[in-house]
Amino acid sequence: MLELSFLKTNKERAIQGLKIRNFSDEALQVIDRILEADETRRNAQVELDNNLAESKRFASEIGALLKLGKAAEVEAIKSKVASLKEQAKDLESVMKVASEQVEELLLTVPNIPHHSVPPGKTPDDNEVFKPWEKPMPTLHSGALPHWELAKKYNIFDLDLGVKLTGAGFPVFRGKGARLERALINFFLDEASRAGYEEIAPPLMVNKDSARATGQLPDKEGQMYYVERDDLYLIPTAEVPVTNIYRDSIVDEKDFPIKMTAYTQCFRREAGSYGAHVRGLNRVHQFDKVEIVQIAHPDSSYLQLDGMLTHVSSLLDKLELPYRILRLCGGDMGFTSALTFDFEVWSAAQERWLEVSSVSNFETYQSNRLKVRFKDGNKTRLAHTLNGSALALARIVAALLENNQTPEGIRLPKVLHSYTGWEMID
């Protein structure tokens, strides 16, 4: 959620930013409506505060009079208070309606893009920030997509998942399961080495947490919900990990706070099936190692660079061809100010697969989370950032496809000590 104070003082910048997100002139009117509702709220609050202050004065006057035994004078004051209370009730409801309206409207406004975000409407308009400049892998004839390789080498089984659970729940087995575990350990080790504290969070969260990181209300349909206990299965570790610092004022000396977590992620992903989502390309349950940072506003973009470097180094070590995209205004997530996507080349499918999305949310998330720090005697919102490092399913898909040979699948050197073997055959 945007800071109201930002809209008040930087209305022009907000409008320019929303234009990058392809807001029409009509849609932009939401800004004025927010400011109007806020003014109504403030006026009501000032009046209400004065009203309450007066009631309080009368109340203590009554106390003093009773002590002096002047009960007769009390009754007159009581009736004054009663009429104040009547007015207060009205003011309270005006204020409540207005502040709900502000909140409601504010929730419909996405984050203001960073000035480097390119204009554009679709993924085709994304900027290739760092292309892949080395040669692409070439496959032998008869190379297979990963879902065929999975069958051939018994790596994972989606049909079995259907039997146990339903579509989109892969069952990894044998060397596939081991590869999964190897990647998790590799990613966590690398993140620890880069200074991220390892967290093992709950896989279910309550409404407060889901709201604070922005999954509620707009992405409710994406999450699995356990009605009986009023809990949501996490769609990403970002939710529990970022919420660790919800409602807190952190010491400026602790910036940047860097955390990493491996979790399974659960996504309902309603309504998208077809050729592009075969195999592991899109599943309801997948493994992911996430990196999260809470940073000082002055250095959050420096930290974002650091996260890009970290993710790049993972892909370098895995010897996978990848490129980095700077997302355009139309493709960027609702809550993000700047997002870089990492895409890995999937040689058999001959397409780029998104394996990581690294974003700076600036204060958009922390405004909900209330993660703050002291800047002199002012309390300010911190910046939050996160990124995948990395999402496993698609990495597995690319590793399988790109490294297949007639003899079997050769894994990159860096994984050998984690798997205990070099080939899937």
Instruction: Give the interface with RNA as residue ranges (CB under 7 A).
Output: 4, 38, 42, 45-46, 48-50, 52-53, 55-56, 58-60, 62-63, 66, 78, 81-82, 85, 249, 372, 374, 377, 379
Residues in the chain: 425
> Looking at 283-332, which runs of residues are DSSP E strands?
285-295, 322-326
Whole-Å CA distances, 260 to 169, 232, 252, 300? 24, 21, 20, 17
Could you give the CA distance from residue 294 to residue 257 in angstroms, rounded to a whole number? 5
Smallest gap from residue 208 Cβ to RNA (A)? 10
Smallest gap from residue 250 Cβ to RNA (A)? 12
- List residues bridging with 156 in a β-sheet: 172
Q: What six digits make up the tokens of 226?
A: 């356990």
93: Cα separation from own chain's centroid: 34
74 backbone dihedrals φ, ψ, rounded to 5°: -65, -40
Q: What six digits make up the tokens of 105?
A: 């409207």
Could you give the CA distance from residue 289 to residue 358 in angstroms, rounded to a whole number? 12
Smallest gap from residue 151 Cβ to RNA (A)? 33
**Cα atoms in the Cβ-side hemisphere of radius 13 Å centred on 234:** 26
99 versus 185: smaller Cβ distance to RNA? 99
Smallest gap from residue 86 Cβ to RNA (A)? 12
Could you give the CA distance from residue 123 to residue 133 in angstroms, rounded to a whole number? 21
Q: 319: phi > 0 → left, psi -120 to 50 → alpha, else beta; which?
A: left
362 versus 401: smaller Cβ distance to RNA? 362
Whole-Å CA distances, 371 to 242, 250, 267? 9, 7, 26
Smallest gap from residue 15 Cβ to RNA (A)? 21
59 versus 167: smaller Cβ distance to RNA? 59
Going 152 to 154 to 157 to 160, the CA torsion angle's sign is: positive
Smallest gap from residue 233 Cβ to RNA (A)? 18
370 versus 410: smaller Cβ distance to RNA? 370
263 versus 403: smaller Cβ distance to RNA? 263
82 versus 162: smaller Cβ distance to RNA? 82
53 versus 72: smaller Cβ distance to RNA? 53
DSSP assignment, residue 134? S
232 versus 286: smaller Cβ distance to RNA? 232
Smallest gap from residue 377 Cβ to RNA (A)? 5
Smallest gap from residue 354 Cβ to RNA (A)? 35
Burial of residue 357, with CB atoms counted within 10 A of its CB: 0-12 exposed, 13-18 middle, 19 or more buried: buried
Could you give the CA distance from residue 411 to residue 399 in angstroms, rounded to a whole number? 7
Could you give the CA distance from residue 330 to residue 34 in angstroms, rounded to a whole number? 23
Smallest gap from residue 417 Cβ to RNA (A)? 30
70 versus 121: smaller Cβ distance to RNA? 70
